[in-house]
Amino acid sequence: MVIMRAKKLVLAAAGLIGFAAGFLSTLHAQDTRRFDLKVRQDFFAGFAGDKEALARGMKASEEALAANPKFAEAMVWQGSGFLFQAGRAFQGGDQQKGMELWSNGLKEMQTAVDLAPDNVAVRIPRGAVLLATSHFVPEQMAKPLIEQGLSDYRHTYDLQKSYFDTLGSHPRGELLFGLAEGYSRDGDRASAEKYFELIRSSLPNTPYANRANLWMETKSLPANETGCVGCHVAK
């Protein structure tokens, strides 16, 4: 039987998807066709406990996929909704439903990445959810989530390298910190140190640098120093 700290899992997923919004808001700001602009507020409200809002977000995703079954952006948001619903099911004691939703959510998000591997609006939401979720599942389930989340963040960083330094401190800090902290938990200390050093050099006098300094001293971080810094705040 899979046992999850479901309440914390739900909150973590909401927080890290909040980072996804913060990151995506810096990209193509004038493109009103972006799917995340149409659904993210409903998803965020849903993750905060508004069932009707979540239903609207899921319905919008379903309708978009009915019109275009290969629309990766809608698919990744729908997958995130399934993972959230899985957490609720586990919290309510329905392990069978939870596992079904869990499997569906992971499958949807993987399919979205397979369809659009170079789309940041797909990579960031998936990576954010998986890295957040990995904190609150058993170790054997966490490792593949961390590795997939790292692949999403690493690919996003590679895609954005040419103008990454022009982005705000929040999206840069969250992406670099996600990489550093993810590598640390994955046991790759060398890669973790590389990104923590990059945080210290490129984002001095920020909460991200403070966390990097702490990790450099202890080679680990307490749980309360691993969450999103100031989600939904433009910086």
Q: 151 lies in a domain?
A: yes
pLDDT for res 211: 95
45 pLDDT higher than 90: no
Its domain, for residue 171, covers 6-225
**Residue 1 within a domain:** no
Q: How many CB atoms lie within 10 A of CB 126?
A: 28
Tell me, yes or no, whether 233 lies in a domain: no
Does the pLDDT of residue 215 top 50, yes or no?
yes
Please indicate, yes or no, if residue 210 is contained in any of the structural domains: yes
Mean pLDDT lowest among 53-62, 84-93, 143-152, 190-199: 84-93
92 found inside a domain: yes
Which pLDDT does position 163 carry in this prediction?
Answer: 92
The answer to whether position 234 is within a domain reads no
Q: Tell me, what's the pLDDT at 229?
A: 73
Residue 210 has pLDDT above 90, yes or no: yes
What pLDDT score was predicted for residue 104?
A: 96
pLDDT grade for 234, boundaries at 50, 70 and 90: very low
The answer to the question of residue 231 being in a domain is no
pTM of the full predicted structure? 0.85
Average pLDDT rounded to a whole number, residues 103-121: 96
Residue 46 or residue 157, greater confidence: 157
Domain contains 177: yes
How many domains are there within the chain? 1
Which of 73-82, 174-183, 185-194, 215-224 is predicted with the least confidence, judged by mean pLDDT? 215-224
Share of the chain above pLDDT 90, in %: 57
Q: What is the pLDDT of residue 187?
A: 95
Q: Binning pLDDT at 50, 70 and 90, where does residue 5 land?
A: low
Q: What is the mean pLDDT of the chain?
A: 85
CATH of the domain at 146: 1.25.40
